[in-house]
Amino acid sequence: MKNINLFLYEWKHFIRNPFKVIAVLLLTFAAIYGLHNGASLYHKQKQEIERIQEKVKEDRKEYRLNYTKEDPKPSAQEPIMAIWFNHIYQFKKPASAIVYSIGQAEQYGFYKWVNVRSSPYDNDMTQEIANPERLNGGTIDFSFALLFLLPLVLLVLLYNIRSLETEQGFITLVEVQHPKNTTWLLSRITFYLVLMIIIISGLIFYGALLTNLFKTMSSAFFLMLLYSLSYLLFWFILYYYILRKGKSIIHNSLVMIGVYVLIAFIIPATVSQYLSIKHPANLMTDLIDVRDDRWELYEQPDSLILKNLYILIPKIKDISVSTDRAKTMAKNIGYYALANEFMKKSALAIEEDSKAKNQFIRATFWFNPISFYQNRLNKIAKTHFLDYKAYRDKIQETIDKQNHTMIIDTWNDVKVDQKKYNEYYTIFSE
């Protein structure tokens, strides 16, 4: 009964304090705004992918007309041209859980036309990120409201509990009525815990409706709820111990603000600064050097080109190129394949650098809770650094497959018809 009375007392105290009510409303509005930002990005990317897929369908339909003629163009019968004009795209399709955490979705391209000249590090894909796990400070999304605004609102809601009674001389009376002072304090702050649980749960549910999350990624809803509530509990426990030891409103406020600044800004900034010193920003000079290697390829004798191709694809040793045109095409395609190998070696160094950065960040999770929770939310939303690494790997896999297929078919002097053209699309598309 006493606990219920304390809840009612705290409810009256809350609604009579406009400062606290406004703080909760601001958090709610900021979170809703962030959810709509995430939902808007989800729908925009989804619509753009659908637009590209329709355009590819029309382009392929037009190009297939080459194979309906009695005398098709010779170029249309070449594997390299048939694969090129299949317009193979790789997409990083947005997950419906992106409504919660935009993460790195605005820092990477989400679609790419893949051809023999492509690479996962082309300009239309991404720019180098000094810290792959840095917080996305440019966009307000739900994760921003949760990680940075929620602790501030909790501070506003809790800062004067117990300390107000102490300053006004009522604490002795409270202790007489509630001999177990700890239970009294817990009951009061539990009111705000329950209030924030209801608000956060409602916001996460609202976000799920914006992108039809329950139909496509229902598990993401429960994971987001789990991590959000655990983050809420983390701050409640910290603030509870501050309130328990506090003697005045000013003391509580200063300590709470200090703890918030330390956890939310100083620790992540220190980690990021140390990381930038230990692993400086990768300027991708290795990729610039690839251009020089490509020019050197054209100066190499045919025998050396063939030797390297035999190492890359041993089975072509047993295939004899039948016509001079096929020999010329095979040589040209060989250049693309070998240049792709140079690019892969250069990209490997960049990937290893990014991997080292991520491992370092993960090693700081035990004292860097903001980065820990940001990473977990990004994983749920499929906007994590590793999600985009998997996307780049898929692009590279398609490039390798294209080069391999073109070399084999060109060596075999394959003449592409409509059936073969469609077969290529099946092989290389998702």
The tens digit of pLDDT for each residue in 218-227 reads: 999 999 999 9
**How confident is the model at residue 6, as a pLDDT?**
66
Domain match, 287 and 410 both: yes
- Beta-carbon contacts of 23 under 8 Å, excluding residues fewer than 6 positions away, are 152, 153, 156, 157
In angstroms and rounded to an integer, the radius of gyration of the C-alpha atoms of the chain is 30
Domain match, 287 and 298 both: yes
Look at residue 25 and tell me if it is in a domain. no
Q: Residue 298: pLDDT band by 50, 70, 90 thresholds?
A: low
- Distance CA(246)–CA(393), nearest Å, equals 53
Most confident region among 49-58, 60-69, 173-182, 247-256 by mean pLDDT? 49-58
Q: Residue 176: pLDDT band by 50, 70, 90 thresholds?
A: very low
Residue 274: is its pLDDT beyond 70? yes
Q: Which residues does residue 91 pair with via DSSP β-bridges, in sequence order?
A: 111
**Among 187-191, 288-292, 309-313, 343-347, where is mean pLDDT lowest?**
288-292
Domain match, 121 and 63 both: yes
Domain match, 179 and 323 both: no
Task: Please give the distance of CA 124 from its chain centroid, rounded to a whole number.
Answer: 17
Yes or no: say if 83 and 337 are a contact pair by the CB < 8 Å rule.
no
Residue 430: is its pLDDT beyond 80? no
- Kindly tell me the burial class for residue 284, based on how many C-beta atoms sit within 10 Å of its own C-beta (0-12, 13-18, 19 or more): middle
Q: Which domain holds residue 252?
A: 2-19+141-278
Domain match, 7 and 147 both: yes
Yes or no: say if 279 and 353 are a contact pair by the CB < 8 Å rule.
yes
Domain match, 269 and 294 both: no
- Distance CA(314)–CA(408), nearest Å, equals 10
Domain boundary pick from 237, 257, 278: 278
**How confident is the model at residue 321, as a pLDDT?**
63
What average pLDDT does the segment 115-129 reach?
A: 70
Domain match, 129 and 147 both: no
- Distance CA(120)–CA(249), nearest Å, equals 55
Domain match, 9 and 146 both: yes
**How confident is the model at residue 318, as a pLDDT?**
72
Look at residue 90 and tell me if it is in a domain. yes
Give how many domains the chain has, as a whole number: 2
DSSP state of 416: P
Look at residue 33 and tell me if it is in a domain. no
Residue 291: is its pLDDT beyond 80? no
Domain match, 397 and 335 both: yes
Q: Residue 369: pLDDT band by 50, 70, 90 thresholds?
A: very high
Domain match, 165 and 122 both: no
Residue 335: is its pLDDT beyond 90? no
DSSP state of 127: -
What average pLDDT does the segment 182-199 reach?
A: 84
**How confident is the model at residue 415, as a pLDDT?**
87
Most confident region among 75-84, 190-199, 333-342 by mean pLDDT? 190-199
Residue 133: is its pLDDT beyond 50? no
- Beta-carbon contacts of 297 under 8 Å, excluding residues fewer than 6 positions away, are 305, 335, 338, 339
**Among 12-26, 98-112, 118-132, where is mean pLDDT lowest?**
118-132
DSSP state of 71: S
**Whole-model pTM?**
0.87
Q: Residue 229: pLDDT band by 50, 70, 90 thresholds?
A: very high
Domain match, 86 and 182 both: no
